Amino acid sequence: MAEAGYAFIDIAVLLVKIALVLGVNLLLLALMTLAERRVAGFMQDRYGPNRVGPEGLFQPIADGVKFLFKEDVIPSHVEKVLYILAPSLVLAPALLTFAVIPFGGTLSAFGREIQLQIANLNVGLLYIFALASLTVYGLVLGGWASNSKYPLLGGLRSSAQMISYEISMGLSVIGVLMIAGSLRLNDVVAQQNTLLFGVLPNWNVFLQPLGFLIFLIAAFAETNRLPFDLPEAEPELVGGYHTEYSSMKFAMFFMGEYVALITSSALITTLYFGGWDFPYVDESALGVWGVVLSVLAFSVKTGFFLFLYLWVRWTLPRFRFDQLMNLGWKVMLPLALLNVVLTGIVMYWVV
């Protein structure tokens, strides 16, 4: 009976964590759609949405209602099954990826230690890259199943771009894995919870500055954000791979992009900025308040990178497609390989 009770508690805790992560991601998604336009208005010295609710806070709700009640048009010439499936292949992987990211310290409750993480996989980073690669299929299938030349061109662009930058992104993380000695994201965070030279936080951004820069640029390309939004490129391709989509199917593409922003920001925080660790503080000695502090530290760091995505979008112009591919293959890839070699040399002589 006692074992059954403990199993029930474990399942209940897991369901609560899943609901919490899913709810927070969807809430942030809604807020990001508002922040996108408010930050754009601020940078362009104009107002963003400010009429629906106080300071425009209910604008995401109005947008959601609009998408729900819009007519769902399915053109007669599409490949119907793949056309309907494609948006799910973009949104679902983005939501599932967050499962292995630790967003806080360890909480003692119900007679057990509860990790603020849905799944502590020993191949956590591989899990993230495996799911992230599935997004390519959603974009390509959306373009191909539309049976229209402009969505098809957008889908081809997206596949070329995302595959090119996935390679650099994966190589840029190898240096972090060499230092941490583990694919488990909890171990990566724990490795950063010390001080470098007794002064600086031992964050990987100081140990792997080149790897961090490559990962950050690749993250912009993987999430199709300016200056790398060539798969959509409205002036050139009408609307890209989702041109033939409407109503909630279009909204799912839209939502997938913003959830991917949240996940990539959380991953950058975890890999290079100490994750949930608040520097110079031992969270475990503070009990519940230490857990609260760790969640707050993780949220602030992740929030900064979410703002960085918005900042860059309204600051830099879009690349040409040949410039984008040249950067990926002729600059990013060699630098990522160089970073692996340099990390190995330094670890050999220092460690």
Q: Residues 25-51: pLDDT tens digits?
A: 999 999 998 999 898 888 888 888 888
Q: Would you call 106 helix, strand, or coil by DSSP?
A: strand
pLDDT band for position 146 (cuts 50, 70, 90): confident
The type of residue at 54 is P
Q: What is the pLDDT of residue 70?
A: 86
Q: What is the pLDDT of residue 229?
A: 79
240, 233 Cβ separation under 8 angstroms = yes
Q: Would you call 284 helix, strand, or coil by DSSP?
A: helix
Of 38-52, 226-240, 269-283, the one with minimum mean pLDDT is: 226-240
Return d(Cα 123, Cα 264) in angstroms, integer.
17
Nearest to 223 by CA among 112, 286, 117, 308: 308
Q: What is the pLDDT of residue 345?
A: 92
Q: What ranges do the domains of the chain cover?
A: 2-350
127, 121 Cβ separation under 8 angstroms = yes
Q: What is the pLDDT of residue 302?
A: 95
Q: What is the pLDDT of residue 232?
A: 66
Return d(Cα 275, Cα 285) in angstroms, integer.
18
Render 29-58 in DSSP notation, one character per residue. HHHHHHHHHHHHHHHTTS--S-SSSGGGTT
Render 183-216 in DSSP notation, one character per residue. S-HHHHHHHTSSEETTTEE--HHHH-HHHHHHHH
338, 177 Cβ separation under 8 angstroms = no
Query: Mean per-residue pLDDT for 168-193?
Result: 91
Q: Which of 17-21, 120-124, 226-230 has the highest mean pLDDT?
A: 17-21
Between these two residues, 329 and 231, which has the higher pLDDT value? 329
pTM above 0.85, yes or no: yes
Return d(Cα 206, Cα 199) in angstroms, integer.
12
